[in-house]
Amino acid sequence: MSVFEIGMLVCFGFAWPISIMKSIKTKSIEGKSLMFMYVIMIGYLFGVAHKVFYNFDFVLILYGINLLMVFTDLMLYYRNKKLLSI
């Protein structure tokens, strides 16, 4: 466990709810990058894999929470994209 890893995940963790709320409120995909969200999700999955195979500790929970928030924002992206095409 590293205090720096925890700090990074907590800081990122504060940013995602803001992005999710923006997606819900504006119902727009403007300013969102689909590739960015997928790359971030892959990065979190690598972090989860590292925790599971090499350094199992409670920080895994932070990775899971962040991964869930990115996934939520990704699903909102697809929902908003569909709403724009209607």
pLDDT tens string 17-37: 999 999 999 999 999 999 999
Residue-range definition of the domain harbouring residue 42: 3-85
How many structural domains are present in the chain?
Answer: 1
What is residue 1's predicted lDDT score, i.e. its pLDDT? 75
Q: Is the pLDDT of residue 8 over 80?
A: yes
Distance CA 71, CA 63 (A): 12
Average predicted confidence (pLDDT) for the chain: 95
pLDDT-based confidence at residue 86 (cuts at 50, 70, 90) = confident
CB 42 within 8 A of CB 58: no
**Residues near 61 by Cβ (< 8 Å), separated by ≥ 6?**
none
Look at the block and give the residue holding tokens 């969102």.
Answer: 32
CATH at 58: 1.20.1280
pLDDT in tens, 49-64: 999 999 999 999 999 9
Q: What pTM value is reported for the model?
A: 0.90
